Amino acid sequence: MPDTLIKVDLTKSAYENDKVHNRWHPDIPMVEWVNPGDDFIIETYDWTGGFIKNNDSADDVRDIDLSIVHFLSGPIGVKGAEPGDLLVVDLLDVGPLKESLWGFNGFFSKQNGGGFLTDHFPLAQKSIWDIKGLYTSSRHVPGVNFAGLIHPGLIGCLPDPKLLATWNERETALIATNPTRVPGLANPPFAPTAHAGQAKGDVKAKIGAEGARTVPPREHGGNCDIKDLSRGSKIYFPVYVPGGGLSMGDLHFSQGDGEITFCGAIEMAGWLHIKVDIIKDGVAKYGIKNPIFKPSPITPNYRDYLIFEGISVDEAGKQHYLDVHIAYRQACLNAIEYLKKFGYSGAQAYSILGTAPVQGHISGVVDVPNACATLWLPTEIFDFDVMPSSAGPIKHITGDIQMPISPDK
Amino acid sequence: MPDTLIKVDLTKSAYENDKVHNRWHPDIPMVEWVNPGDDFIIETYDWTGGFIKNNDSADDVRDIDLSIVHFLSGPIGVKGAEPGDLLVVDLLDVGPLKESLWGFNGFFSKQNGGGFLTDHFPLAQKSIWDIKGLYTSSRHVPGVNFAGLIHPGLIGCLPDPKLLATWNERETALIATNPTRVPGLANPPFAPTAHAGQAKGDVKAKIGAEGARTVPPREHGGNCDIKDLSRGSKIYFPVYVPGGGLSMGDLHFSQGDGEITFCGAIEMAGWLHIKVDIIKDGVAKYGIKNPIFKPSPITPNYRDYLIFEGISVDEAGKQHYLDVHIAYRQACLNAIEYLKKFGYSGAQAYSILGTAPVQGHISGVVDVPNACATLWLPTEIFDFDVMPSSAGPIKHITGDIQMPISPDK
Amino acid sequence: MPDTLIKVDLTKSAYENDKVHNRWHPDIPMVEWVNPGDDFIIETYDWTGGFIKNNDSADDVRDIDLSIVHFLSGPIGVKGAEPGDLLVVDLLDVGPLKESLWGFNGFFSKQNGGGFLTDHFPLAQKSIWDIKGLYTSSRHVPGVNFAGLIHPGLIGCLPDPKLLATWNERETALIATNPTRVPGLANPPFAPTAHAGQAKGDVKAKIGAEGARTVPPREHGGNCDIKDLSRGSKIYFPVYVPGGGLSMGDLHFSQGDGEITFCGAIEMAGWLHIKVDIIKDGVAKYGIKNPIFKPSPITPNYRDYLIFEGISVDEAGKQHYLDVHIAYRQACLNAIEYLKKFGYSGAQAYSILGTAPVQGHISGVVDVPNACATLWLPTEIFDFDVMPSSAGPIKHITGDIQMPISPDK
Amino acid sequence: MPDTLIKVDLTKSAYENDKVHNRWHPDIPMVEWVNPGDDFIIETYDWTGGFIKNNDSADDVRDIDLSIVHFLSGPIGVKGAEPGDLLVVDLLDVGPLKESLWGFNGFFSKQNGGGFLTDHFPLAQKSIWDIKGLYTSSRHVPGVNFAGLIHPGLIGCLPDPKLLATWNERETALIATNPTRVPGLANPPFAPTAHAGQAKGDVKAKIGAEGARTVPPREHGGNCDIKDLSRGSKIYFPVYVPGGGLSMGDLHFSQGDGEITFCGAIEMAGWLHIKVDIIKDGVAKYGIKNPIFKPSPITPNYRDYLIFEGISVDEAGKQHYLDVHIAYRQACLNAIEYLKKFGYSGAQAYSILGTAPVQGHISGVVDVPNACATLWLPTEIFDFDVMPSSAGPIKHITGDIQMPISPDK
């Protein structure tokens, strides 16, 4: 049985665990060293470190201080890994902690984080999903039950000082274009809530002052929220610092493409069984900028989809130029409108798109001025028939179950 | 054997065929009427009406007048279809014309249409793809051979006057924001090259003056270029005018998500065997804005992918806000850079991404400020192993075969 | 466009076509010679040469003289192919003839051929299946519509004299164990109905006297009736005579594993687009006895199955020893009994198992004394829900449509 | 977290665990009672109760007393389940015990159990497979690594007295046809090694005297060894006694169709997370004789197969009549011969066929006199290319690693 290199205790604050950190910085000390070829277990908190509870109130979603996220386990040093190498990571398996067989999905208030459809769902809402073996269902979203595509939302190696500086510079420049926007355009370093792992003293202070926030995906991977980076997949990460410094967290039991609900997929605490190896000088040899990966041979075989199209004309009818973001938003809104005909509330439909193994495809990006995006809804996840017919639609969902909502204070 | 309602003669100009048109307008006369439940055959020109030739020069790609596209077969009236209904179209089969077993892919000059990567590939280039049964390969792009996901790039019903006016207004407004941009932000109505089908006199003139260009996808579907709208799929189209007025064309033997090369997928002349039916009042009953569809049970089962990530930081290092268009462009550029390590020219790699059944996923759209997009490259289409390894990469492609290129005049 | 090397005229007897034959013998003259790397079209009769008609009587199924089958197109010689080579055949595409978009399925009378369940269905019955693009449905079997897995039931190279002698000897020995059995244990050479292709005179007589009947699969492949040898697949055949002598026929629009109805799958006239190549000395190099193949990347993606088990205890309750034949028969009977609860007649259910892309798995062959076989019924082929539930089953099939039946004369 | 109703202690004899039994009999007392809708965990021994060890000697495989198998966990009573109901079992998840992350595969000596190819591999051999997350590989069989299709080989409800009597009668009759055969045709009740669970005294003696051995699959399911009955699947079992009495064991990390090596698949100790429900009177309503099931949406997506054919002519050249057992044996032998060309020993190749997710299809069962069976070998499980080519085959396997073998004493 493989060693568990990092353990988490869900009854204690993630800040007390010194094998955890919540910023990206080259000076965060390695907490363990392994050899190429080793396999081992890493436990992780959920991305909020336990702030969101298994209950029927969305107050925690409304009130969270988002500067605390994400609590990552690591960094792990791999002996012999040098800048320019590729770190090969096999996600041999990923799962929930036995003492915590549930996950959450929610929408942040537009005043505190927002989300993809925050103009349509501006208030904090939450749904809780129970995990039963390979399947999940929710007491807040009736009529769906599906097999999860379990994956880490966030995984990557430590940046070197130059890469970190690049990140901070370009994001600061973006924020400067509209510094008072709500929600903010990006998140700058923020020392008060930084968790620098085993760093102490000046190093700790430096990490707090300079450490990149963990929200966006970047060149090293990081918070990619790619649902297909799932257990069984093999990932090739660029190495920037000696030893690599692999950290991970933000486990999802299941997520739709785009993680449109932002808070988030089906978020859970859990564990990863991983194996590491090195391809020397792989970055230059293969021309790698961002991580590449090979998906798992074991994934839900959903095959029956109902597919919604969206184009880059926004809700107000304004024409945008090849904007895939807007096109995908329209496809999502189209799907939500459709599901409402079967009795779902808009919030429940939105939750389904955020949690189920929905696909989002970039279908056309050249036919000026409209981009076309498609949202693929697996029909087998429903307890009832959701295909169109001459006789339908039938209101299978009666509306007596609703998702918790918490008005802004 | 089903009737062929529309035939095309590839030896004659598409302008001579009065069952063809190249604009969207409610007054284009129906060329045939069918009953719900009927199935029949429709032949189509390639989208350029035969302008691009099966040869080794890219001059035609450079010189094409893009105001002539797309040559569509139709419109077909369906008896009993009324505004607000859903027109259910079964794509029973789609294929190339027997006398024309080839297709083309190309990049337009940046001066004349451009494309997704036009800043990287600013000159006209072309590749020719031979069709052999279910498979295709190119004399200009060695080392790949794959099964096509055959589909119409363009299919939809005629707009009513109100919808048409909406299109023209919003696109004109966009053009007005930068009217001299090259390539243009959108394409306004343009009478000189309009083909109004069987319309004559004043009606024909009106269609020329007002008819929407066929390039963008819009609410009715149209030029969606969705590779998965393939033979065997079932599509539900909103009906706007009595009879529906279904038109189609722009057949593709195969295409990658995004149709990033713009000119285009593997473009071909061909035929569709379709069946039509009606769901009365389906638009309101199901809350439909854009078409929805169910994919085919018969598609290439490619399973082994190498997946490239891209984030919304552009080639100059500038940070953009959740811009999926830029993120997907980075994923594409990352894949091109990778394939070059195996010996491909950039243009050949770009062609592969435009033609093979590549998937483009919207992987993350909420982790400010970076969107994350992924490009899924099916590895089985290559004659050789393209996975990373400690020993690789091996230059299997020797560079003695190159794609035709034509400098701007 | 590839050349059509062999054409068939459905208005004339297959015996008049000298590029067709219905026996296996080394002396059947090659009708065409091709080069390695060539691709070309071959047309074929249905296996009975047009004896079974598109009508509503099973008399033709009852009355057929089975010594006439199978009418094969070929043999094709491949230049350079020598005994011991592997002939590599790419099935680039396969389809029905345009003038004949239908197929038949039937059960022979137990007095004339029988079938897998002949003790349960002893009389001749027939169903006609219409082909509409990728799909098929039957006016005699309501409630099902599915995409076909189109394939040649029969394809292989000519045997050499030694192999032919082996076949005749071992099959004659089997017949001798029970020479009067009905149906017969095997079929010996039979000159009166032999079609020797272009052979004349003494050679023709020799072929009639010695030529192996085409019914069984043998070392060279032949009548394997493997549904997965479908269009898009690649097959490696052993070569026994100079040039190989590839012949083919017995096209199926769709078939279930086992072709349990015997007459047959959905039998049709059609065409194959194939490409040939050679692996020199491949038989010894790869230790090949029977053909091997790689399946197509393009196949129906049916994923939802209801699976029936059967064990090697026969209908009378008698225990057999690890007999997969009996186990599969029980699984088939179990599935038929189940489908009857939804309103199908036994004959209709049997037809569905013979025609749809049903899988038959050898699930256990070592747990003495019971073999276990499973029959996988794709549930998506039905217009209604066939899964078990607390509320079900519902009789969706009303019984007003029945299959033609013809009592023995 | 669901309750664990049955625990196993691998350091103690399975005979000491009174929630375990190794015979089928209606009088075996229920060890736990649950309600419809409950989900819970059941732990199981490996089928031999720990007799086979993780070492490099096949002596244990040679010496095992096969009358001790299979050690099953249960029976579980479901409240309200009555004879004639269907017991619906969701296999929510299945996995290995954490303290025992390995499994074994072996061939029994022909003198003690034998196997599908016992005439070709008459001596005891063994291979040990390490389980790393979703994957497995063996120190005795180099060059393969694959994702398992984890499943219980054995699961079913208790028979009633009538069904038990039927079993004993028909199997005794078979044995009587050749009582001295080695290996035996079937296994009669055998009291000395019976484990009757919590039964005591006379009841225990009765169970020993009458209890059906667990080796064969029967009407209730039992030892079906169906690889697709895997985690995530849903099974419908006939109920014969009040409460049902569900027992299970013989967990496999992976198995090929047929479980041809008999000892066995990749055999392991483990746990199942299951949920139970009832369909009242389902046996009659759906015409159920054997269990039926719906496969899991989560299975290895292996798509690239090399397929071997076999026909019912045996190794000596003798013709058999539509014998699928012999046909599948030939397909297996053909695959073994092929793999030997890449350097594998015959025993290693045989092990691969017994352990990897190989498919065995009943391809043709009506073309007298030859049945045709196919063996589908997933090519992606190999570290190297196993497809035929003009250049190949290459001996990737050097032969320095061999499987343990133990001559008969």
Beta strands C4-6; C39-44: pairing state: parallel
Please state, for a pLDDT cut of 90, what percent of chain A lies above it: 89
Question: Are the CB atoms for C308 and C330 separated by under 8 Å?
Answer: no
Residue A301: which of C303, C380, C385 has the nearest Cβ? C303
Beta strands D305-311; C292-294: pairing state: antiparallel
Q: Which residues of C touch D370 (CB under 8 A)?
A: 216-218
Q: Is 80 exceeded by the pLDDT of residue D247?
A: yes
B166 contacts A317? CB cut-off 8 A:
yes
Look at the domain C305-397 and name its fold. Endonuclease I-creI (3.10.28)
Q: In angstroms, what separates the C-alpha of A208 from chain D's closest C-alpha?
A: 36
Q: Which residue of D has its CA nearest to B303?
A: D303
Q: Which residues of D touch A1 (CB under 8 A)?
A: 98-99, 101
Q: Which residues of A touch D298 (CB under 8 A)?
A: 134, 147, 298-301
Q: Where are the domains of chain A?
A: 4-294, 305-406
Q: Which residues of A touch D134 (CB under 8 A)?
A: 92-93, 231-232, 296, 298
Whether chain C has a CB inside 8 Å of the CB on B190: the answer is no
B neighbour chains, 3+ CB pairs within 8 Å: A, C, D
Sign of the CA dihedral running C340, C342, C348, C350: negative
Q: Is 90 exceeded by the pLDDT of residue A48?
A: yes
Q: Which residues of C touch A304 (CB under 8 A)?
A: 303-304, 380
Q: Which residues of B touch D303 (CB under 8 A)?
A: 301-304
What are the tokens at C42?
């071959």
List pLDDT tens digits, range B363-372.
888 888 999 9
Residue C273: which of B133, B231, B275 has the nearest Cβ? B133
Residue-level pLDDT at A70: 96
CB contact residues (below 8 A), chain C span 20-49, against chain D: none
Sign of the CA dihedral running C248, C249, C253, C255: negative
B147 contacts C92? CB cut-off 8 A:
no
Q: In angstroms, what separates the C-alpha of B7 from chain C's closest C-alpha?
A: 16
Q: Is 90 exceeded by the pLDDT of residue B28?
A: yes
D275 contacts A134? CB cut-off 8 A:
no
Residue B216: which of A88, A260, A369 has the nearest Cβ? A369
- In this prediction, residue A28 has a pLDDT band, given cuts at 50, 70 and 90, of very high
Residue-level pLDDT at C302: 80
Interface probe, candidates B40, B41, B91, B132, chain C, greatest C C-beta count within 10 A = B132
CA geometry: angle C187, C189, C191, nearest 5 deg = 130
Q: Which residues of A touch B362 (CB under 8 A)?
A: 257-258, 324, 328, 360-362, 373
Single out the residue of A165, A395, A403, A158 nearest to residue A261, CA to CA: A403
**How far is the C-alpha of D76 from the C-alpha of D74, rounded, in Å?**
5
List pLDDT tens digits, range D18-49.
999 999 999 999 999 999 999 999 999 999 99
B300 contacts C301? CB cut-off 8 A:
no
Single out the residue of B295, B129, B381 nearest to residue A363, CA to CA: B295
Q: Is 90 exceeded by the pLDDT of residue B341?
A: yes
3-class DSSP string for chain A: CCCEEECCCCCCCHHHCCCEECCECCCCCCCEEECCCCEEEEEECCCCCCCCCCCCCCHHHHHCCHHHCCCEEEEEEECCCCCCCEEEEEEEEEEECCCCCEEEEEECCCCCCCCCCCCCCCCEEEEEEEEECCEEEECCCCCECEECCCEEEEEEECCCHHHHHHHHHHHHHHHHCCCCCCCCCCCCCCCCCCCCCCCCHHHHHHHHHHCECCCCEECCEECCCCCCCCCCCEEEEECCCCCEEEEEEEEECCCCCECCCCEEEEECCEEEEEEEEEECCHHHHHCCCCCEEECCCEEECCCCEEEEEEECECCCCCECCCCHHHHHHHHHHHHHHHHHCCCCCHHHHHHHHHHCCCEEEEEECCCCCCCEEEEEEEHHHECCCCCCCCCCCCCCCCCCCCCCEECCC
**How far is the C-alpha of D97 from the C-alpha of D268, rounded, in Å?**
8
Q: Report CA-CA distances (Å) from A283 to A187, A280, C175, D362.
A: 29, 8, 68, 48
D115 contacts C367? CB cut-off 8 A:
no
Single out the residue of D346, D344, D324 nearest to residue D384, CA to CA: D344
Helices (H), D28-89: 59-63
Q: Which residues of D touch C297 (CB under 8 A)?
A: 303
Q: Which residues of C touch A302 (CB under 8 A)?
A: 303
Interface probe, candidates A366, A374, A386, chain B, greatest B C-beta count within 10 A = A366
Is the domain spanning B4-294 CATH 3.10.310.30? The answer is: no
C neighbour chains, 3+ CB pairs within 8 Å: A, B, D
Q: Is 80 exceeded by the pLDDT of residue D301?
A: no
CB contact residues (below 8 A), chain C span 137-156, against chain A: none
Quote the longest CA-to-CA distance of chain D.
70
Residue C301: which of A303, A380, A385 has the nearest Cβ? A303
Residue-level pLDDT at D366: 86
- In this prediction, residue C52 has a pLDDT band, given cuts at 50, 70 and 90, of very high
Q: Report CA-CA distances (Å) from A350 to A67, A353, B249, C254, D64.
A: 25, 5, 35, 41, 58
Q: Is 90 exceeded by the pLDDT of residue B211?
A: yes
Q: Which residues of C touch B232 (CB under 8 A)?
A: 133-135, 147
D neighbour chains, 3+ CB pairs within 8 Å: A, B, C
Whether chain C has a CB inside 8 Å of the CB on A389: the answer is no
Residue-level pLDDT at D93: 97
Q: Is 90 exceeded by the pLDDT of residue D300?
A: no
Residue-level pLDDT at C204: 98
Question: Are the CB atoms for C71 and C16 separated by under 8 Å?
Answer: no
Q: In angstroms, what separates the C-alpha of A40 from chain D's closest C-alpha?
A: 10
Q: Is 80 exceeded by the pLDDT of residue A314?
A: yes
A neighbour chains, 3+ CB pairs within 8 Å: B, C, D
Whether chain A has a CB inside 8 Å of the CB on B170: the answer is yes
Give the residues across from C246 on adjacent strands: C76, C157
State the residue for tokens 């000189």.
B192
Burial of C396 per CB tally in 10 Å (0-12, 13-18, 19+)? middle
Residue-level pLDDT at D203: 98
**How far is the C-alpha of B255 from the C-alpha of B262, rounded, in Å?**
10
Please compute, for residue D81, the number of CA atoms within 13 A of its CA located in the half-sphere on the CB side: 31
**How far is the C-alpha of B254 from the C-alpha of B302, rounded, in Å?**
13
Look at the domain D305-399 and name its fold. Endonuclease I-creI (3.10.28)
Whether chain A has a CB inside 8 Å of the CB on B284: the answer is no
Average pLDDT of span A218-226: 94
- Hey, what amino acid is at D297? P
- In this prediction, residue B389 has a pLDDT band, given cuts at 50, 70 and 90, of confident
Single out the residue of A315, A302, A308, A306 nearest to residue A373, CA to CA: A308
CATH of B305-398, one of 3.90.600.10, 1.10.760.10, 3.40.228.10, 3.10.28.20: 3.10.28.20
Q: In angstroms, what separates the C-alpha of C123 from chain A's closest C-alpha?
A: 39
Average pLDDT, chain B: 94
Quickly count: other Cβ atoms within 10 Å of residue B36's Cβ: 16
Residue-level pLDDT at D298: 85
Residue D257: which of C171, C341, C362 has the nearest Cβ? C362
Question: Are the CB atoms for D292 and C306 separated by under 8 Å?
Answer: yes
Contacts B–C by Cβ distance under 8 A: 76
Question: Are the CB atoms for C310 and C336 separated by under 8 Å?
Answer: no
Tell me the residue ranges of DSSP E strands in B26-169. Answer: 32-34, 39-44, 72-78, 86-96, 102-107, 124-132, 135-138, 146-147, 151-157
Residue-level pLDDT at B366: 86
Question: Are the CB atoms for D197 and D21 separated by under 8 Å?
Answer: yes
Single out the residue of A277, A320, A288 nearest to residue A91, CA to CA: A277
Q: In angstroms, what separates the C-alpha of D226 from chain C's closest C-alpha?
A: 5
C304 contacts A380? CB cut-off 8 A:
yes
What are the tokens at C87?
């002939």
D170 contacts C317? CB cut-off 8 A:
yes
Residue A134: which of D98, D135, D231 has the nearest Cβ? D231
Whether chain C has a CB inside 8 Å of the CB on D185: the answer is yes
Q: In angstroms, what separates the C-alpha of A382 from chain C's closest C-alpha?
A: 14
Burial A125-143 (b: 16+ CB within 10 A, else e): bbbbbbbbbbbbbbebbbb
CB contact residues (below 8 A), chain A span 299-338, against chain C: 301-304
Average pLDDT of span B349-377: 91
- In this prediction, residue A363 has a pLDDT band, given cuts at 50, 70 and 90, of confident
What are the tokens at B124?
């006209």
Question: Are the CB atoms for D253 and D264 separated by under 8 Å?
Answer: no
Q: Which residues of C touch B298 (CB under 8 A)?
A: 134, 147, 298-301
C259 contacts D287? CB cut-off 8 A:
no
CB contact residues (below 8 A), chain D span 67-106, against chain A: 90-93, 98-99, 101
Q: How far is CA B96 from the centre of its chain?
A: 15
Q: Is 80 exceeded by the pLDDT of residue C301?
A: no
Question: Are the CB atoms for D228 and C307 separated by under 8 Å?
Answer: yes
Lowest mean pLDDT among A69-73, A343-347, B298-302: B298-302
